[in-house]
């Protein structure tokens, strides 16, 4: 039965309300980002088919493009066989593709009202954006495993030292974070799936071809060299090339590579956390 009189009973919950929460501290902040990444991991565990479908592209690049260009010997790669040279590039490309299409997922979440519900939680907006960046890393890491497997099968000499593997894993996380946040920014601006599809293509291809992923920068024309040098993907590939394959080395130094990626992430996350709340308007 309904009663129209206001219930005078005290708020049972009030005393437990504000005091016991864990949202303010740095630990709380990280916990919220990690919670979003955990959500992604749980989703991936429920439906892992994407892991296989996403392997088709690297299979084509390494198995077809790589095999052919190894025979041609047209691209100067120093001591490294061409396939060994491009394997880290293909790894970086897989991570890039996963990350760039993250924007679609965010637009989907907006259409479903998930974005609204995330924004109504007390989580700082930066924690939400970082959580999304970390989620892209969660998807990218098992994908990196698939590319390793594929490269191994094709005879690429993989560097299996634990330190090198850990270094590549960190690079994958940084790359996924940087480009998924770029994608998030694009999603915040265009807001619809149809418009985003075009943007996704327009972002990935130039980033990929204006980088050192499948050919060294030294053979590029001057204007493209300049573009390649301001492209964060170049530094991601550079770090991966130094650590993923036997005999690979870094042109810019892994320290600089990490610094460029980190600086990119900081700048993009800063911008994205300003734009992300607009998705709920």
Partner 1 sequence: MNIIETSSLTRRFGDLTAVDGLNLSVAAGEVFGLLGPNGAGKTTVIKMLTTLLPPTSGQAKVAGFDVQRRAARVREEIGYVPQLVSVDGTLTGYENLLIFAKLYGVPRSDRQARIAAALEFVGLGEAAHRQVGKYSGGMMRRLEIALAMLHHPRVLFLDEPTVGLDPLARQAVWQHVRSLAHEYGMTIFLTTHLMEEADSLCHRVAIMNLGRVAALGPPEELKSSIGRPEATLDEVFAHYTGHELDSGGNYREISRTRRTAARLG
Q: Residue from 50, 63, 65, 124 that binds partner 1 (CB under 8 A)? A: 124
Stretch of residues binding partner 1 (CB under 8 A), selected from 98-106, 116-124, 134-142, 263-271: 116-124
Q: What angle do CA 167, 256, 221 make, to 5 degrees?
A: 110
Q: Residue from 68, 74, 112, 202 that binds partner 1 (CB under 8 A)? A: 112
Task: Name the minimum Å distance from CB 132 to partner 1.
Answer: 13
Query: What one-character DSSP code corresponds to residue 7?
Result: P
Q: What angle do CA 150, 174, 91 make, to 5 degrees?
A: 15
Q: Does 14 bind partner 1 (CB under 8 A)?
A: yes
For the record, the structure tokens of 56 come out as: 């088709």
Rounded to an integer, what distance in angstroms lies between the CA atom of residue 43 and that of residue 110? Answer: 18
Rank residues 7 and 230 by Cβ distance to partner 1 and give the closer one: 7
Rounded to an integer, what distance in angstroms lies between the CA atom of residue 177 and that of residue 268? Answer: 9
Q: Does 142 bind partner 1 (CB under 8 A)?
A: no
Rounded to an integer, what distance in angstroms lies between the CA atom of residue 160 and that of residue 165? Answer: 6
Rank residues 202 and 280 by Cβ distance to partner 1 and give the closer one: 280
Rank residues 126 and 154 by Cβ distance to partner 1 and give the closer one: 126
Q: Which residues of 146-157 are buried (b: 16+ CB within 10 A; e: fewer)?
A: bbbebbeebebb
Rank residues 122 and 206 by Cβ distance to partner 1 and give the closer one: 122
Q: Does 71 bind partner 1 (CB under 8 A)?
A: no
Q: Residue from 71, 120, 218, 230 that binds partner 1 (CB under 8 A)? A: 120
Reported as half-sphere exposure (CB side, CA atoms, 13 A), residue 192 has a value of: 2
Burial status of residue 227 (CB atoms within 10 A of its CB: 0-12, 13-18, 19 or more) = middle
Q: Does 223 bind partner 1 (CB under 8 A)?
A: no
Q: Does 46 bind partner 1 (CB under 8 A)?
A: yes
Stretch of residues binding partner 1 (CB under 8 A), selected from 11-19, 60-68, 151-159, 239-247: 11-19
**DSSP count for the chain of H helices, then E strands:** 14, 0
Residues in contact with partner 1 by the rule CB under 8 A = 2-4, 6-14, 16-18, 20-23, 28, 31-32, 34-36, 38-39, 42-43, 46-47, 111-114, 116-124, 277, 280-281
């Amino acid at each position: 039965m309904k009663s129209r009189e206001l219930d005078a009973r005290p708020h049972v919950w009030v005393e437990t309300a504000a005091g016991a929460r864990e949202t303010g501290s740095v630990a709380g902040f990280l916990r919220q980002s990690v919670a979003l990444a955990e959500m992604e991991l749980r989703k991936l565990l429920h439906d892992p088919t994407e892991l296989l479908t996403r392997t088709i592209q690297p299979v084509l690049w390494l198995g077809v493009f790589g095999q052919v260009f190894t025979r041609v010997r047209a691209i100067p790669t120093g001591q490294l066989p061409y396939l060994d040279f491009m394997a880290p590039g293909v790894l970086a490309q897989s991570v890039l593709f996963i990350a760039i299409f993250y924007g679609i997922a965010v637009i989907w979440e907006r259409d479903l009202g998930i974005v609204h519900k995330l924004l109504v939680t007390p989580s700082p907006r930066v924690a939400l954006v970082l959580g999304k960046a970390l989620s892209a890393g969660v998807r990218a890491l098992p994908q990196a495993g698939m590319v390793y497997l594929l490269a191994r099968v094709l005879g690429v000499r993989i560097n299996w030292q634990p330190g090198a593997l850990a270094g590549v894993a960190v690079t994958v996380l940084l790359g996924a974070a940087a480009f998924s946040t770029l994608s998030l920014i694009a999603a915040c601006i265009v807001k619809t799936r149809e418009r985003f599809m075009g943007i996704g293509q327009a972002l990935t291809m130039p980033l990929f071809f204006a980088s050192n992923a499948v050919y060294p920068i030294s053979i590029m024309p001057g204007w493209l060299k300049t573009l390649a040098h301001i492209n964060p993907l170049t530094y991601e590939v550079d770090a991966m090339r130094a650590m993923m394959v036997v005999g690979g080395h870094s042109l810019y130094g892994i320290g600089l590579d990490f610094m460029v990626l980190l600086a990119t992430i900081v700048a993009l996350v800063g911008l994205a956390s300003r734009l992300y709340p607009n998705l709920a308007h």
